[in-house]
Chain A
Amino acid sequence: MRFVPLAVAAALLGSALTACTAGKEAGPSLGAQPKPSGSASQALPAATIELWHGFSTDAEVKAFEDAIAGFNKKFPQITVKATKGVQDDQITQAIRGGNAPDVAASFTTDNVAQWCRSGAFQDLTPVIEQDGIDVSVLPAVARSYTAFEGKQCTLPLLADAYGLYYNKALMKGEQPPKTLGELTELAKKLTVRDANGDIKVAGFIPSVQYYENSPSHLGPMVGAKWYNDDGTSAIGSDPAWKQLLTWQKELVDWFGYAKLDKFRKSLGDEWSAEHPFYHGKVAMILDGEWRNAMIANDAKGLDYGTAPLPVADDKPDLYGSGFTAGTVIGVPKGAKHPQHAWELIKYLTTDTTSLVTLSNALRNVPTTKASMESPDLAKDDNFKTFLDIFAHPKTTTLPATVNSVFNQEVMSQFMTKWEKGSVTDLDAGLKDVDKQINDKLKLSGG
């Protein structure tokens, strides 16, 4: 009996050591295994692969399953086990813990740089070249947010493009604005106030705190640049940001910050049927192409139109462009069946039928030129606006960088202070944004 506690202690220590070293075994890397290419890929051995994605609603999950069903027709020996509603944090933790899925999809491009640089997602370049895939079928902007430092570690699954939605009844026959000057004029004209000066209907809400009005979505209206070629912040030196903020502040001041803030806080949830655009409380909004599907579900009778975002008065050539980002998909380090995973990714990101199926169901922008031109793609006028924005040569994205989340937060926070009137010196404030971003960049290793 005297050995019992010693045995327990030894077992505890043993299990602790095991726990400390668990999950360190890496899976085979992509391209390392001998692989039959082209049509012979169907000769891959039978396997079950894990796919993690962020889609969560029933309609989204069904659309995704339909696309996977198409893959299964091509590769009946591969079973895809899909897990829905997965966020980036979970993907990172799983890779770190050695339990990575074979395929992971992310709704945001914010972590692509980190995943590429660290090797958390495998570089797809060798297999792209091996299979002779021409990545120029993807618009340059989509290539830029899926790669970092020469590593194509993800591919675009579907894209989001941002434009202007307008309520036709509230527009009173006016055409959607093409310049910021026209937007200001129309926003003032369409705004309705009560006797106390409280806003009842806003022509346009210029607050950066309103739903989709983030710096990254607003920046393309003036052609604002986030980074210099060396990766340092360009915000303080690019006059476009000052132009955007000056325009925005003038319109906020016209509303009165307190009045605008009170109105903003009285509005319904962005993701519910209570969205103020559906109820005629806002005449024009900046939003993504997916709003079309939501309007179809939640506000069937709404008479609305879509247009590209208005642009700076002195940069008319930007009209038609906008902001884009989207869902990315790749093979994490430690995937057990990387070759099978690649076949699934290749199918989902380049097969026209699959992309059209997903786009028609989810109302997101398909990413290849062939899928955008497919006759099977459902294109009404309101959705076509976003296809054109996505394909526009001047459409931009937030370039991949290791501190993407931090940088957006710093700028967003600054713009919030600015519109409230807490910033007295705009130039100094923007320089301070530069400093914060550059200090963090230095800490992150450049």
Chain B
Amino acid sequence: MTSLPAAPPRWRRGEGLRALAWLSPWIAGVSIFFIYPLISTVYFSFHRYDMYTLEFIGLDNYRYLFQDARVAASARNTLWLVAFMVPATVLFSLALAQLVIRLKAGVSLLRTIFYLPSLVPMTAGTITFVFLLNPATGPVNHLLSLIGIRGPDWFGDPAWSKPSLTLLGLWGCGQLMVIFMAALLDVPRHLYEAAAIDGAGPWRQFRSVTLPTIAPVLMFALVTNVIYALQYFSQAMIASRVAQGSTDSPGSSFSPGYPDESLLTLPQWLFQVGFRDYSMGYACVLALLLFGTSMIFTLILLRQFRRAEEAS
């Protein structure tokens, strides 16, 4: 014979309500800024919506996803950035941090020099970078020509445009460098001393001491940079516009992703579809695609992050 569970004490019910009440600002925030937009996005994705009129069209927006040539192009570009720009930025920042902490003199000066570009407003930095790399008037190609190298059309050649953006990313990696510096300085010195006594050279010390110790920071850098790359928008849009010399005058049009859609990222295409064409329903499908991709990447990286934490 089993007895009925006893009713929760009166004070516990009161506690529960109180906890719920204290949590309510968070619940309201998540509901308004996450759950509601997410549900709305799914809802609108089945509609033709131009911000004025709403019409249910079933799966038409999803079908159009497979007819839209620029989705494939923008997804390829975004994945390129994840595959190449993220590792390049992380490795370069780590290398810079290693260099700076090993120097005996001028550390503060170098740290400042490397950090300064990350303080430059992103729009100004991108415009300046495109001007510096202008194949006709930019100083970079001029300097290269002095040593007999014919510089490429950095932002005008589809083969060079994404590497040029990566260079821009490396130039502004000061913040990540500072984070790595803090992690590297946190590695206990006695571990290096013990490894040295055991005959480990610099590379072995880096692999067996430094990397395992800073693994959580490294994973953090990877996760945040992958998410950043998936959301990559402003620099690509600005570089594309400046390189094309495009204006927004009546009757003129701008081809997003110039040159040859090589700088068209998924968030850029989403913006274009939603806020230039006002095809909000289809833009919602693109948003869900981006959301799904981000979730998959984040889950994979977080799993790796946990493993790295356990290993360290």
Chain A residues with a Cβ under 8 A of chain B: 2, 5-6, 8-9, 12-13, 16, 89, 92, 95-96, 107-111, 114, 117-120, 160, 162, 209-212, 214-217, 261-267, 270-271, 288, 323, 325-327, 398, 402-403, 405-406, 408-409, 412-413, 416-417, 420, 422, 436, 439-440, 443-445
Contacts and interface: CB of A to CB of B under 8 A. Distances in A.
Contacts of B256: 409
A265 B28 contact: no
B260 A160 contact: no
Query: Which interface residue of B55, B156, B278 has the most chain A CB atoms within 10 A?
Result: B278
Contacts of B123: none
Given A114-B278, A265-B135, A265-B137, A409 B52 contact: no
B52 A412 contact: no
Given A12-B24, A214-B253, A409-B253, A271 B279 contact: no
B135 A262 contact: yes
A8 B136 contact: no
A9 B136 contact: no
A2 B18 contact: yes
B246 to A, nearest CB: 8
B156 A412 contact: no
A264 B244 CA distance: 10
Interface stretch (B61-69, B104-112, B286-294): B61-69
Contacts, number: 137
Given A211-B245, A405-B277, A443 B61 contact: yes
Contacts of B251: 108, 160, 162, 212, 214, 216-217, 323, 325, 398
Given A114-B50, A261-B153, A405 B253 contact: yes
A215 B251 CA distance: 9
A16 B32 contact: yes
Given A92-B51, A96-B51, A436-B69, 15 more contacts: A8-B24, A9-B21, A9-B24, A119-B52, A209-B244, A211-B245, A265-B245, A271-B247, A327-B250, A412-B255, A413-B261, A416-B260, A444-B50, A444-B279, A445-B55
A402 B48 CA distance: 13
A214 B260 contact: no
Contacts of B50: 114, 118, 402, 444
Contacts of A422: 260
Contacts of A266: 134, 136-137
Interface string B137-152: 1000000000000000
B2 interface: no
Contacts of A436: 69
A234 B276 CA distance: 23
Contacts of B278: 92, 111, 114
Contacts of B18: 2, 5
Contacts of A323: 251
Nearest to B60: A443
B275 interface: yes
B53 interface: yes
A6 B21 CA distance: 5
B254 interface: yes
Contact of A270 (B21, B24, B68, B245): B245
A265 B244 CA distance: 8
Contact of B67 (A89, A413, A439): A439
Interface of B: 14, 17-18, 21-22, 24-25, 28, 31-32, 48, 50-53, 55, 60-61, 64, 67-69, 134-137, 153, 156, 244-245, 247, 249-256, 258-261, 275-279, 282
B165 to A, nearest CB: 18
Contacts of B51: 92, 96, 118
Contacts of B14: 2
A160 B21 contact: no
B276 A405 contact: yes
5 contacts: A9-B25, A13-B28, A211-B245, A264-B245, A412-B253
A326 B249 CA distance: 10
B24 to A, nearest CB: 3
A35 B51 CA distance: 31
Contacts of A412: 253-255
Contacts of A420: 260
Nearest to B282: A443
Given A8-B25, A325-B251, A265 B134 contact: yes
Contacts of B279: 440, 443-444
Given A265-B156, A413-B261, A212 B252 contact: yes
Given A16-B28, A265-B134, A5 B261 contact: no
Residue of B18, B21, B68, B279 contacting most chain A CB atoms (<10 Å) = B21
A12 B23 CA distance: 12
Top 4 A-B residue pairs of the complex, sorted by shortest distance between their CB atoms: A9-B24, A266-B136, A118-B52, A5-B21
Contacts of A119: 52-53
Given A262-B136, A263-B136, A270-B247, A9 B253 contact: no
A47 to B, nearest CB: 26
Nearest to B261: A413
Given A262-B136, A422-B260, A5 B247 contact: no
A5 B15 CA distance: 12
B24 A214 contact: no
A439 B245 CA distance: 29
